[in-house]
Structure 1
Amino acid sequence: MRIQVRLFATYREIVGSRGFTWSSRDGLSLRELVDGVVAKYPGLAGHRDTMLLAVNHDLAASDRILQDGDEVALLPPVSGGAR
């Protein structure tokens, strides 16, 4: 199966790309995908515990099973606020 991975902000800078296609076996969990991405791009390792994960524009738990054609977004934590 093929998953579209989108990267934002700091993650985009670390990887040097806005995103990529990840090919894998059926039944891959979101956690397994992220583990594979971090293994391929070790610069993301320090961000692993604070990543927000979205599948097809909805926040998702790491145990979600991915489907062929899903779009996964790796998002850094959001900070800031009103004065």
Structure 2
Amino acid sequence: MTLTVLLFARAKELVQRDAVSVILPPSATVGDLRSRLAAEFPQLSSLLGVCVIAVNHDFADDSRGLLPSDEIAVIPPVSGG
């Protein structure tokens, strides 16, 4: 299945795009997505461990299954004062 993954903040800056397409098997999980993103975009590899992955506007753990229709976002940590 092909998934569109939205990138925000530092992830968007590192990849220089606001979205990427990733191909995963039909039984893929959020953890599989993290691994594939790190492999396809090595500049993200150190950041992905601290990012939150949102699926359909809800934070998802790595065991969550994915569907082709899901809206997926990579959200890096933010700081502010």
Normalising to structure 1: TM-score of the pair?
A: 0.88
Higher Rg of the two aligned structures = 1
Q: Which residue number in structure 1 is paired with residue 69 of structure 2?
A: 69
For each residue in 1:33-76, what CA deviation from the matched residue of structure 2 results, as whole angstroms up to 9, or x when unmatched?
11101111111111122111100111111110101221210011
**Does the aligned pair in 1 maintain the 2:22–2:36 contact within 8 Å?**
no
Segments of structure 1 that go 5 or more residues without pairing to the other structure are none
Normalising to structure 2: TM-score of the pair?
A: 0.90
Cα offset, 1:20, TM superposition? 1.9
- Structure 2: which amino acid aligns with 1:73? A
Equivalent-residue separation in structure 1 for 2:32 and 2:57 (angstroms): 19
Equivalent-residue separation in structure 1 for 2:4 and 2:41 (angstroms): 16
For each residue in 1:23-42, what CA deviation from the matched residue of structure 2 results, as whole angstroms up to 9, or x when unmatched?
22101010111110111111
* Residues matched between the structures, number: 81
- Structure 2: which amino acid aligns with 1:45? S
Cα offset, 1:9, TM superposition? 1.0
Could you tell me the percent identity over the aligned residues? 35
**Does the aligned pair in 2 maintain the 1:4–1:69 contact within 8 Å?**
no
CA RMSD of aligned residues (A): 1.2
